[in-house]
């Protein structure tokens, strides 16, 4: 009979900079699939992406995102890691807990700082407990226990794991974390040969509407370009920075990413990026930035310096679908919110997060809230899906 004391010891460590961890150690957990020479399933949790946030000072001192990267080590090898941050606000998360913060502070508590396992400013689903193959159970358990212990020992209000996978959400709930269900709009590639094949799946009225939108957008008086990898040039980022600032100032007040991030993107990330830019009279007037995963295209940022009818839909949604079809990708995730995506073939799907609340009474109240919210979200998804643009039966007109 084995002695329980013979079980390997797992050591949890916190790191204030990714420089304290090698890219090889991190990516062995974050994207082991790249060993076959292909892309990462989730580019955002790779060492190069998280390091770009840090090196550009988009996270760090003064941003409200203070890195506390967590690693779990066994027998001298990192078996798991997580992008953990101490947060002094709830901006840039897209799983909204502002009401929780207000309620706790009205009751005399201190909600911030809190701990967040997430990719900053990125409402894209992916693994948050990054484990080496073969160490999934030990790694996830160690990371959850370690993060909860850090929050408890420092008398922090809460720990949040946002945009995790459904499998992680189920595992976390079994461990004792609170599970939350929210929603986004994703487009699924049903093996379409081209965009017309997608249109053939839609009702006649929706099909005609999208054709008119694309025709109107593409008639804006200029040319639409797709750039990736070495096709992307520094002047493209100069233009895109202007677009990003305009959108960021209107939506968030202050853009999350610094100008230096886009310089680093040109140096280190351009193979992961698809830029869709609209040019008119020799000037870049609008653009959308997408990030390329192995199986998914992630829509991230959009902006413009000229307004043209339907150009936003064309650059952000239809061009992304064109790219996904041409490159055999299974889906396009178009980011947070936006019921206007529904009419364009992006259907509602669940997104998942996990939460630990230190105060038992407050945790019970949030658990009741999450139960009611999950029921409402499920009903919304059912109703919204029924209003989607797809044909309800195969006998509908194909004209």
| pLDDT tens digits, 155-186 | 999 999 999 999 999 999 999 999 999 999 99
**Alpha-carbon distances of 21 from 128, 135, 330, 370, rounded to whole Å:** 17, 19, 33, 36
Tell whether the model's pLDDT for residue 201 goes beyond 80. yes
For a pLDDT cut of 90, what percent of the chain falls above it? Answer: 90
Looking at residue 255, its pLDDT comes to: 86
- Biggest alpha carbon distance in the chain? 79
Cis preceding linkage at 358, omega within 30: no
pLDDT band at 2 (very low <50, low <70, confident <90, very high): very low
Edge-to-edge strand list for the sheet holding 10-15 = 10-15, 69-74, 77-82, 130-131
How confident is the model at residue 246, as a pLDDT?
82
Phi, psi of 71 (to 5 degrees): -130, 150
Taking the whole predicted model, whether its pTM rises above 0.85 is answered as yes
Q: Are 273 and 279 in contact (CB under 8 A)?
A: no
Question: pLDDT digits over 341-374, tens only?
Answer: 999 999 999 999 999 999 999 999 999 999 999 9
Span 82-107, pLDDT tens digits = 999 999 999 999 999 999 999 999 99
Whether pLDDT at 118 is above 80 = yes
What is the Cα–Cα distance from 174 to 318, expressed in whole angstroms?
40
* Mean pLDDT in residue range 184-192: 97
pLDDT of residue 338: 80
How far apart (Å, rounded) are the C-alpha atoms in residues 136 and 146?
15
Pairing of strands 283-292, 296-304: antiparallel
Chain-wide mean pLDDT for the chain? 94
Question: Confidence class of residue 398 from pLDDT cuts 50, 70 and 90?
Answer: very low
- Asked if 371 and 178 touch (Cβ cutoff 8 Å), the reply is no
State residue 1's pLDDT score. Answer: 42
Q: What is the pLDDT of residues 66-86, one digit of tens each?
A: 999 999 999 999 999 999 999
* CA gap 246, 305 in Å, rounded: 8
Pairing of strands 158-164, 114-117: parallel
Cα 139 → chain centroid:
22
Mean pLDDT of 222-239: 98
| pLDDT tens by residue, 5-37 | 566 799 999 999 999 999 999 999 999 999 989
Lowest-confidence region among 103-117, 189-203, 247-261: 247-261
């Amino acid at each position: 009979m084995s002695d329980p004391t013979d079980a390997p010891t797992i050591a949890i460590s916190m790191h204030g900079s990714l420089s304290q961890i090698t890219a090889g150690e991190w990516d062995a957990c974050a994207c082991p699939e790249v060993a076959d020479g292909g892309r990462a399933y989730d580019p955002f949790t790779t060492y190069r992406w998280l390091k770009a946030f840090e090196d550009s000072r988009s996270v760090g001192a003064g941003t409200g995102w203070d890195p506390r990267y967590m690693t779990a080590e066994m027998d001298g090898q990192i078996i798991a890691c997580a992008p953990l941050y101490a947060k002094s606000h709830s901006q840039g998360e897209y799983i909204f807990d502002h009401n929780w913060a207000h309620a706790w502070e009205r009751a005399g508590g201190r909600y911030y700082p809190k701990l967040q396992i997430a990719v900053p400013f990125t409402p894209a689903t992916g693994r948050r407990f990054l484990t080496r193959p073969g160490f999934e159970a030990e790694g996830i358990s160690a990371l959850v226990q370690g993060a909860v212990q850090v929050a408890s020992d420092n008398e922090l209000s809460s720990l949040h794991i946002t945009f995790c996978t459904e499998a992680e959400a189920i595992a976390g709930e079994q461990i004792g974390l609170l599970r939350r269900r929210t929603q986004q709009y994703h487009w699924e590639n049903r093996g379409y040969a081209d965009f017309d094949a997608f249109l053939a799946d839609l009702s006649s009225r929706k099909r005609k509407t999208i054709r008119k939108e694309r025709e109107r957008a593409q008639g804006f008086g200029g040319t639409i370009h797709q750039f990736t990898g070495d096709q992307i040039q520094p002047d493209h980022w100069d233009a895109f920075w202007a677009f990003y600032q305009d959108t960021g100032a209107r939506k968030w007040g202050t853009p999350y990413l610094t100008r230096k991030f886009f310089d680093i993107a040109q140096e280190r990330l351009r193979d992961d990026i698809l830029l869709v830019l609209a040019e008119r009279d020799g000037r870049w007037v609008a653009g959308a930035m997408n990030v390329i995963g192995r199986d998914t295209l992630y829509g991230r940022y959009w902006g413009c310096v000229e307004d043209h009818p339907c150009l936003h839909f064309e650059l952000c949604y239809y061009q992304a679908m064109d790219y996904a079809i041409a490159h055999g990708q299974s889906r396009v995730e178009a980011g947070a919110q936006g019921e206007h995506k529904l009419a364009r073939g992006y259907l509602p799907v669940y997104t998942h997060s996990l939460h630990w609340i230190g105060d038992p009474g407050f945790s019970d109240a949030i658990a009741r809230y999450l139960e009611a919210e999950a029921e409402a979200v499920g009903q919304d998804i059912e109703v919204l899906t029924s209003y989607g643009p797809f044909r309800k039966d195969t006998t509908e007109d194909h004209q």
